[in-house]
Amino acid sequence: MIIDWYPGHMKKARAQIIETLPKIDLILEVLDARLPESSSNPLLERLRGNKPCIKILNKKDLADPNITRSWLRHLEEQDQVKALSLEARDRRDVGLIPKLCRKMLAERVRAGKPLRIMVAGIPNVGKSTLINTLAGKKIARVGDKPAITTTTQQIDLRNGILLLDTPGLLWPVLDNLGGACRLAASGALGEAAYATLEVALTTINYLLRHYPQQLVNRYQLAEPISDPALVLEQIGRSRGCLVSGGDIDLHRAADILLRDLRGNKIGRISLERLAETETPFDQYQEPE
């Protein structure tokens, strides 16, 4: 296993999704707008066949809006797929979903039949928050750590739509190191599943390529800022991550960098771009 992540409940979730798919009319797949491809489960894509799907790019407020627009166009080129970007807590954004569901399932609407919709996605992309906003009340548990939802539940929105909430599902072997590193940087993986220092250095390398000014502004960096290790040292020094002897606690500095990234304190940043290869993430190597 490349990155150690596949709790026992995920095997059960996979079986539940396979069993449920024939009974539903549409899949609502929640993705992270910062990394739409890496946060999409290839297993779900294979299983859905030609079933209609709405791909939700959640956390749009954290992502680079120009990059998000290009992903939306790309996703809608897929057969039977519509795409929306939104912030799951925003009722106006989320209010677009039932309208689009009814449009895509017009025949069932005309027949007066309920729309059976499965909400799926990897851990920590905001499925539970989205469901709570759709329902107008707290139904699903919400947290800032992955694997909050562990059982399947059905929710009647009382507007002709039945939602089936599924546990966050990752694939058994994350053998795409670039995608796995992006997932770790975004917070989709538990902290025990990856090496914080290496993920932070890889993320800094990517930010230096695409968002150098945001790094400078956030941490008041001095030249040079081309070496990720030196940047991390500057972050550690500026945030007081010092140990005895005046050395810098790089692991603590790495944790600060990743938390700032996830908390939108560095800026609106997309970690994945269309048709971009050989990024720092794609060059990521597991520490020995």
Domains defined for the chain, CATH in brackets: 8-165 (3.40.50.300), 195-262 (1.10.1580.10)
Q: Taking all residues of the chain, what is their mean pLDDT, rounded to a whole number?
A: 87
Average pLDDT over residues 1-14: 53
Q: What is the 3-state secondary structure (H, E, C) of 35-85?
A: CCCCCCCHHHHHHHCCCCEEEEEECCCCCCHHHHHHHHHHHCCCCCEEEEE
Exposed / middle / buried, residue 263 (Cβ in 10 Å: 0-12, 13-18, 19+): exposed
Half-sphere exposure of 205 (CA within 13 A, CB side): 17
Which residue, chain included where needed, has tokens 């120009």?
A: 66
* Structural tokens at position 222: 């001095």
Reported as a single tens digit per residue, the pLDDT across 182-201 is 999 999 888 888 899 999 99
Kind plus residue range of the DSSP H or E element containing 187: none
Find the range with the poorest average confidence among 168-172, 192-196, 239-243: 168-172
Q: What would the mean pLDDT of 218-227 be, rounded to a whole number? A: 88
Residue 142's pLDDT is 53
Predicted pLDDT of residue 141: 54
What is the band of 265 on the pLDDT scale with cuts at 50, 70, 90?
very high
Q: What is the pLDDT of residues 39-72, one digit of tens each?
A: 998 778 888 888 999 999 999 999 999 999 999 9
SS3 114: coil
Output the pLDDT for position 98. Answer: 97
pLDDT given for residue 93 in this prediction? 96
| pLDDT score, position 86 | 97
Beta carbons of 102 and 109 less than 8 angstroms apart: yes
Relative to beta strand 161-165, strand 153-156 is antiparallel
Cis peptide before 224 (omega within 30 of 0): yes
pLDDT of residue 5: 47
**Interval 17-25 mean pLDDT:** 84
- The reported pLDDT for the residue numbered 143 is 47
Kind plus residue range of the DSSP H or E element containing 254 = helix 250-262
